[in-house]
Amino acid sequence: MTVLYNDPTQFREELIEGFVAAYGRLVRRVPDASGVVAAQPLPRSQVAVVIGGGSGHYPAFCGYVGPGLASAAVMGNVFAAPSAEQIYRVTRAAAGDGGVLFCYGNYSGDVLNFDMAEQRCQAEGLKVRTVRVTDDVASAPQGEESERRGIAGDFFVFKIAGASAARGDDLETVARLTQKANDQTRSFGVAFGGCTLPGQSAPLFAVEPGQMELGLGVHGEPGIQSSHLRPAHEIAGLLLETLLANAPAALPPRVGVLLNGLGSTQYEELFVLYKDVHRLLVAAGLTPYHPVVAEMVTSLDMAGCSLSLCWLDDELLPLFDAPCTSAAYTKF
């Protein structure tokens, strides 16, 4: 359970304060808003990439702010969307003359509030485009990909967006490449235990002993179905089989791979699982490219993991390879 807090109602504000104190070389806080911007101002002509969503998912979202990644992040309360006013203030603090890309997971509260902030910014003459992350194959069937929610695939989509902006691409190009990265990313996860909100004594959902949840969300939602707990090699097969059944068509076999921990699964366990994931990827004719085994989108203290694949064609590959620096992820 979540045990380190003072006043649960101030959890978001205190975590932002602590994050800025620790990583002030990379970020600064936006006054009167629950968000951060890059410590070094962007060139005025560069597209600003503004990401966001609820707290409780670190390193999403503030941990992705820095050169070559996001320009700013706005955070709501735990598992809650930031308000339109917060999004607006963070956007105005980050934006120059190149316009703004909003990028966030496809959840109703985030969609509503980011859309309101976008309308306000555009009324003031600021160009804004939006890409919603929709990588979770468990949340809608094939043919309804735009209805899916965003989970750990955020990592790939944000990375491509930030690299495109840092390269100097214009707003329309940044939006197009970010959308392409989203369209070529798929994720699926499993949970072994629920997460507990600060100040609460019971998890949002419970997993029976010897069971696991398939197709979990990252806001404390249980999976779409329960199953018996399996050894690591069988879980690897289940994750990969599900993703390949939902794979985008006619793409090269090179894939970015993220095996993501959800909050309380040990890294050693993730490496045990990745051994089998890697073997199965190669057996399926895919080429894992610079895999990442880490916590990149968490759900407080949830026990579980997700697997994300991003098909990297010749247009996306150099953007994934581009250097970046942030609290959570650095690439040289």
User: Torsions phi, psi of 36, nearest 5?
Assistant: -135, 155
Q: How far apart are CA 5 and CA 201, in angstroms?
A: 13
Amino acid, single-letter form, for residue 123: A
Contact 297, 155 (CB under 8 A): yes
**Residue 322, SS3?**
coil
Q: CB burial class (10 A; 0-12, 13-18, 19+) of residue 125?
A: exposed
Catalytic annotation, residues: 219
For residue 64, what is the DSSP state? G
Which of 70, 61, 68, 59 is CA-nearest to residue 94?
A: 70
Tell me the two tokens of residue 217.
Answer: 């969300």
CA distance to 3, 129, 161, 298, 312, per residue, from 175 (Å): 40, 7, 7, 25, 17
Q: Report the length, in residues, of the chain.
A: 332
Helix axes 232-245, 267-283, angle to 10 degrees: 50
Contact 83, 90 (CB under 8 A): no
